[in-house]
Amino acid sequence: MSEPTPKEPLRFQRIAQTAVWGGRALAERLGVGAVNDGPIGETWELSDVPGAKTRVVGGHFEGSTLEELLAVHREALLGDSRLDPNGRFPLLVKFIEARQDLSVQVHPDDGALGPGTIGKTEAWCILPESEPTASVVAGLRPGTERKAFVRDAGSRKVLDHLLEHPVRGGDCLMIHAGIPHSIRAGTVLLEVQQTSDVTLRMYDWDRVGLDGKPRDMHVKQALEVINFDSGPLEIVRAQYPVSDPVPAARIAALASCPYFRLYEVRLSGAADHDPEGLARVLVVVGGSGQVEGAESVAQELRFGDTLLLPAHMGTATFTPGPDGLHLIEAVAL
């Protein structure tokens, strides 16, 4: 008897990642607070990163990793979406809670650190759980001179060359490889990125890690991959067409890059969604509801739930709860 192909929304067991700059509020809300009693900086909702591969929860494929699914059902899962150059699922999706400032860092582009290296372009969707004072550091100040930046890169003076942006729930920023950045304390966000965990730190606020030792810095490598020609960043908010009556499903573009497209989706009534031959990841960032595939039972949805819609699964029906359903959708390219 042949094994069934993935024709149902796939939900994954999240992985909690401790970090010196992390907190507890988001972890408790997502139900992973009991993992340990330390600060949790990230929860990886969908991952094919070696050593941190998320597993399917429920359904026909319970317990399977993305790697295992792709080995047998690549076409059904991905369709026209591409594997990354290392043969992995192309997107990593995570929540981040910054109780302290993250290091000032940069991510390389594909191949920048050698053949086979997967770079890290990412997008940030700021969540309403952020504090009113939330901000991010991203991008170079206009007129920044390379020589001055190189001189100050490993110290607090690096901030003199970077732009800081106040942010609030609903903001979206595209952080391309080569753009130096930091997430400041009080910011909570959803991150969609390439399947890569490579980070080059330049400055870490003169603190030590959870082991009591200074964290590794990578100033020389970081300077080799910074894009000194990058322009100013744009903070985007969803712009929905005005219509009367308001449709049950509203969709607005947020970000686009060679690796993925990002949309905000708001539902006030039931709506069908066909992946149309591309792998799609949907994350609940507000409200509640249900999702049901043509060949699967209804699943309850609440904040933080992350679904992978296989490219050829057919139609999925989303039904919002009384407060509507608010989703971020990432389409793997």
Pick from 132, 135, 84: nearest CA to 260:
84
Question: Whole-structure pTM over 0.85, yes or no?
Answer: yes
pLDDT digits (tens, 9 = 90+) for 229-248: 988 899 999 999 888 788 99
311 vs 333: CA distance, rounded Å = 11
Q: Tokens for 292?
A: 């049901």
pLDDT digits (tens, 9 = 90+) for 181-212: 999 999 999 999 999 999 999 999 999 888 88
pLDDT digits (tens, 9 = 90+) for 59-90: 999 999 999 999 999 999 999 999 999 999 99
Q: Tokens for 128?
A: 């309403």
235-262 CB burial, b ≥16 within 10 A, e <16: bbebeeeeeeeeeebbbeebbebebbbb
Give the CA-trace dihedral at 82, 87, 90, 95, to 10 degrees: 170
Map out the domains of the chain with their CATH numbers: 10-236 (2.60.120.10), 249-332 (2.60.120.10)
How confident is the model over 50-57, as a mean pLDDT?
A: 96
How confident is the model over 105-126, as a mean pLDDT?
A: 94
State the pLDDT at residue 191.
Answer: 98
> Which residues does 1 contact at the CB level (< 8 Å), separation at least 6?
none
State the pLDDT at residue 35.
Answer: 66
Pick from 189, 176, 329: nearest CA to 254:
329
Q: Tokens for 267?
A: 């539902």
